Amino acid sequence: MSNRIITISREFGSGGRTIGRLAAQKLGVACYDQELIDKIAQESGLFRKYVEEHAEDARGWMDLVSSHDYYGRSVGDKLFSAQTKVIRELADKESCVIVGRCADYILGEYDNVLKVFIHASMDKRAERIVNQYGERTEAPIQRLKEKDRKRRAYYQMYTDRRWGAMENYHVALDSGVVGIERCAEIIAGLY
Amino acid sequence: MSNRIITISREFGSGGRTIGRLAAQKLGVACYDQELIDKIAQESGLFRKYVEEHAEDARGWMDLVSSHDYYGRSVGDKLFSAQTKVIRELADKESCVIVGRCADYILGEYDNVLKVFIHASMDKRAERIVNQYGERTEAPIQRLKEKDRKRRAYYQMYTDRRWGAMENYHVALDSGVVGIERCAEIIAGLY
């Protein structure tokens, strides 16, 4: 297997998505992030918007788990199974950067994967979501905590691992201290 | 404050000490590791051997906590207080690399500190302690787990933080995947 994959797991507001894009640019490979949503929607037969809202953040995941299809499978399981298939197919097909969506866990047995985690302090992330993502300026820290809580719950539920536990990553960087561009350089340099 | 400090926290057998020395060499600054023990012994008035055995790994820390001096202070607290004083004095005096001894926590309020954590898989660490540190070849993983448990307990007791929690470090690297030399390069490059 000669493909090489970088998975980027990240706290909301840490700039992990931007770092993934920059690293992929430097390496001349594709970066899959939002693009995964279309593929997962196609694979699962679920609406794109539904996938977008549920594929990572466990927005209303209790609904997801308690809704079942004709075969008795929960919609959440169906979504995760489509996500797994799409991510494994990508990893088998080409060298790339994959952002989020439990790719670190889904590709856990692959030995050609560099697993990265990007995090930052609450203050830095709050600054970023207001200034860069154009989010509302009210109570950003409260919204970050809510996001963290949902993403952690989703990850824990599907992987049975603690989200952000250091032992699951080869490189973990505080983007607020190291800087977005420098994070991308380090990751690309390790590829 | 113009000094710049790197603290390196590390799992036993991950090569953190070697990485600290290499990074310090690249930067032309001192690396404090075993050297701290003499300073802490001098500051606390405790025997060097005693400091060496108790200053980090919580070998018999229950003894430490339950032994008290003339003023009713536990020997463990006395040791930690000497350790804090020595590490802060160093950080105020010169740019340097400090390995272990809760320096990341002790210098928590300093804004001129790059906090690094080095870890590796059990297999890689077991290989390292047998081949590099010349430890016994029997049950290395069992001994690693014991070391981890003690180091974690000591850290938790004196800092009230979870040992190895990602949010407490700016850079965390898996030395088994990234490589010892490369870890040192990344750290020195971020200085």
Q: Is A87 helix (H, G, I), strand (E, B) or coil?
A: helix
pLDDT of residue B65: 56
Distance from CA of A104 to the nearest CA of B (A): 15
Q: Which residue has the higher pLDDT, A75 or B113?
A: B113
SS3 helix, strand, coil % of chain B, rounded to 5?
55, 15, 30
Q: Which residue has the higher pLDDT, A37 or A6?
A: A6
Q: What is the mean pLDDT of residues A30-51?
A: 86
Q: What is the value of pTM for the model shown?
A: 0.89
pLDDT of residue A2: 77
For residues A171 and A149, what is the distance between their CA atoms, to the nearest angstrom?
22
- pLDDT-derived band at B55, boundaries 50, 70, 90: low
Nearest to B24 by CA among B5, B44, B45, B11: B5
Q: Which residue has the higher pLDDT, A138 or B128?
A: B128
Give the number of C-alpha atoms closer than 13 A to the C-alpha of residue A65, restricted to the C-beta side.
Answer: 9
CB spacing of A114 vs B174 below 8 angstroms: no
Q: What is the mean pLDDT of residues B57-78?
A: 64
- pLDDT-derived band at A62, boundaries 50, 70, 90: low
- pLDDT-derived band at A7, boundaries 50, 70, 90: very high
pLDDT of residue A56: 65
Length of chain B: 191
CB spacing of A172 vs B172 below 8 angstroms: yes
Examine the pLDDT at A123 and tell me if it is beyond 60. yes
For residue A113, the chain B residue with the least C-alpha distance is B177
Residues from chain B that touch A173, judged by Cβ atoms under 8 A, are 170-172
Examine the pLDDT at A164 and tell me if it is beyond 70. yes
* DSSP-H helix ranges across A69-136: 75-93, 103-106, 122-131
CB spacing of A171 vs B170 below 8 angstroms: no
**Which tokens is A83 given?**
């996500």
CB spacing of B166 vs A117 below 8 angstroms: yes
- pLDDT-derived band at A40, boundaries 50, 70, 90: confident
Q: Which residue has the higher pLDDT, A62 or A49?
A: A49
User: pLDDT for B89-145, tens place per residue?
Assistant: 999 999 999 999 899 999 998 999 999 999 999 999 999 988 887 777 778 888 899
For residues B15 and B131, what is the distance between their CA atoms, to the nearest angstrom?
12
For residues A101 and A87, what is the distance between their CA atoms, to the nearest angstrom?
9
Count of C-beta atoms within a 10 Å radius of residue A118: 27
Q: Which residue has the higher pLDDT, A38 or B88?
A: B88
Examine the pLDDT at B67 and tell me if it is beyond 70. no
Examine the pLDDT at A71 and tell me if it is beyond 80. no
| Chain B residues interacting with chain A (CB cutoff of 8 angstroms) | 114, 117, 119, 121, 164-167, 169-174, 177-178, 182, 186, 190
Least confident of A103-112, B34-43, B166-175: B34-43
Examine the pLDDT at B64 and tell me if it is beyond 60. no
Residues from chain B that touch A189, judged by Cβ atoms under 8 A, are 186
Q: Which residue has the higher pLDDT, B179 or B36?
A: B179
